Amino acid sequence: VSDTINLSLTKVHELAVRALKRHGANDEHAQAIARIIVAGERDECFSHGVYRLIITCHSLKNGGVDGQAIPAISDRATSVVALDAKFGFSQLAFEMGIPLLVKKARKHGLAAMVINNCYHFAALWPDVEAIALHGVAALAFNPSHAGVAPAGGYKPVFGTNPIAFAWPRPDQNPYVFDFATSMVARGEIELHRRTGRDIPKGWGVDAQGQSTTDPAQVLDGGAMLTFGGHKGSALSTMIELMAGPLIGDLTSMDSLHLDAGRAASPCHGALVLAFDLSVLGAGDPVAQQHRAEALFAAITVQGARLPSQRRFEARARSTVYGVHIPKKLFDEVSALAH
Ligand code: NDP
Ligand code: PYC
């Protein structure tokens, strides 16, 4: 592909680690963050792949992120594992919490992982997918920076507030979906601006609340819109509440206020729930999984695809052939690494 640089996944990982360490991350953080960035590029989720190195490095250097923070884990309650990320990026805390979360879910049927005081830049599917690989279902969400207007309004209140879900499937990849409760991720609108492309109508409004196809008008003073009108608006409100006040952490408005114009990654909490089929379904997981598979088959038999199918196909390709990074982006992230 012309104007792109072909790199193996190992090379992308090495590049990311170099850039992150150069900007103040210790080795543990750099490795954990790089794993997520490589996963995004590998699965062709371009708004959350190598492009994210720009904001993670900026956030480490100028945005208040502690690249040396050592997350603290606590067994807070029967079904609750709590992580204090101590104002580092979320990845390391999340990785530390998984074993106890899974253990608690298997024992009690339902368990929650609460992460507080974390900076967050990533997609959520790697998190729920990692939990589903242990055989339990997972649901995750978090706020971000206020940039999305409520349905019927035009001033930013919500973050792009992603929600992700994974269901473990025997002998194959889990069923996973993960999307913003705004029409698209903010990163997608940023990519349109970088490459000089208009955005479709309906993604956002300008500062006066008028519909616009100019990404800059949405990003600088305007607002993004929720998906599904009042339905996305209510879901986004739920995410603000459940991964904000409920767990003693910030809303997206608070996160933007804390940022104080530094344009760093959002700082907030995250809530991850894990569900065990055997305990919740009273002990016939084989029959439960048969019923689940019948549901998936009813979707795919008519030509519809499951969420993540595209991603898993991209993963298979990238693992063999590597990834193709736009030259301009490659030059930018290479400069961060040297
Ligand atoms: P999309 O609107 O592209 O939706 C992505 C989801 O929908 C994926 O699960 C995708 O599967 C699935 N999907 C897309 N098309 C279809 C289809 N035709 N049939 C079935 N499923 C489909 O993504 P967003 O722009 O909303 O979000 C992108 C990423 O941004 C997410 O990973 C999210 O976590 C991240 N994000 C992170 C935030 C944060 O605060 N950290 C904030 C907001 C977003 P597939 O991948 O296979 O195409
Ligand atoms: O793309 O909306 C987004 C986003 C916010 C935080 C991380 N990604």
Is position 308 annotated as part of the catalytic site?
Answer: no
* Ligand 1 pocket test target in 48, 124, 179 with most atoms within 8 Å of CB: 179
Instruction: State the chain's mean pLDDT as an integer.
Output: 97
Catalytic residue of the set 48, 120, 192, 268 = 48
Atom of ligand 2 nearest to the CA of 162: 2
Instruction: Label residue 2 by pLDDT band (50, 70, 90).
Output: low
Segment 91-96 shows an average pLDDT of: 98
pLDDT in tens, 243-267: 999 999 999 999 999 999 999 999 9
Segment 24-45 shows an average pLDDT of: 98
For ligand 2, which residues put their CB under 6 angstroms from it? 47, 120-121, 144, 160, 180, 185-187, 266
pLDDT in tens, 267-323: 999 999 999 999 999 879 999 999 999 999 999 999 999 999 999 999 999 999 999
For residue 274, CA distances in Å to 46, 81, 105 come to 27, 11, 6
**What pLDDT was estimated at residue 1?**
56
pLDDT in tens, 200-235: 999 999 999 999 999 999 999 999 999 999 999 999
**Parallel, antiparallel, or unpaired for β 148-149 and 323-326?**
unpaired
pLDDT in tens, 321-330: 999 999 999 9
Task: Give the closest residue (by CA) to ligand 2 atom 7.
Answer: 121
pTM of the model: 0.97
Q: How far is the CA of 177 from the centre of ligand 1 (A)?
A: 7
**CA triple 76-81-83, angle to 5 deg:** 95
For residue 64, CA distances in Å to 24, 92, 327 come to 11, 17, 29
